[in-house]
Amino acid sequence: MRVGYIQTSPVFGEKEKNFENIDKIISKNKADILVLPELFATGYTFSSKNEVNSLSENLEGKTAKFLINLAKKTKGLIIGGYVEKSKNKLYNSAMIVSQKGILGNYRKLHLYYKEKLWFSPGDLPLQVYKFKEINIGVMICFDWFFPETTRTLALLGADIIAHPANLVLPYCQNAMVTRCLENKVYAVTSNRVGSEKRGEDNFQFTGKSQITSYNGDILSSAPIEEPFIDLVDIELENVRDKSINAYNHIFKDRQIQFYF
């Protein structure tokens, strides 16, 4: 099973240009699962809700069509972030797409900073999607800060967590080692690079997209400042065995009656 990420530097508001840049990066690479950053087609630093609305789409928009075509090229599953509009609400969302069409849609549960001004919090349950023999969970960026997100996806049977991101805090890449280790799952964190100064905000994105193993090993780490693509081969046998040793099991040993 080959999984990977594309790390990009999007131009704010220029969807077609951002699509073209990804096409150039992907070249002839094939992957079973490929993760793109959060809001990869639009950029991140919005200045008004009207601006967010103008860049929003539904599941039949330009971004969906681009992702389906990308899935046809890679022969695999693509997960990428976009601005979703549904019933007059705006969401920071991610599509799960194969060459046959859209398998699912996830809306970010935990909104960061001014995202709370632009987006509604996600209202869809966490879910695991099956593609070939692998089970894929999805979370977006700041969701990593809440261990319940990864644990819930692991309890639902996720083998790997696709993690589109636009990270500005310096902690996530290290924290994903713990998230993967405590749940025995793989994770593909696809971050962006570059800076975006708009209005009062000037964000510097941290790059360093990362593929993290179920045992805490970092299988791939991207540069801090450059667009990048990487693919690695993973195996599923050990990830589905949640035992630590003959006596400890990470799910069965939980004392949930004492948890809040």
Task: List residues with catalytic annotation.
Answer: 38, 108, 141
Q: Are 94 and 38 in contact (CB under 8 A)?
A: yes
Query: What are 222's two structure tokens?
Result: 């991207």
Inter-helix orientation angle 172-183/147-155, to 10°: 30
Inter-helix orientation angle 15-26/62-74, to 10°: 10
Query: What are 133's two structure tokens?
Result: 């023999």
d(CA 34, CA 199): 33
Strand stretches in the chain, DSSP E: 2-7, 33-35, 77-86, 89-98, 101-107, 128-131, 134-138, 160-164, 186-190, 195-198, 201-204, 210-212, 218-221, 228-233
Sign of CA dihedral 121, 126, 130, 135: positive
d(CA 39, CA 44): 6
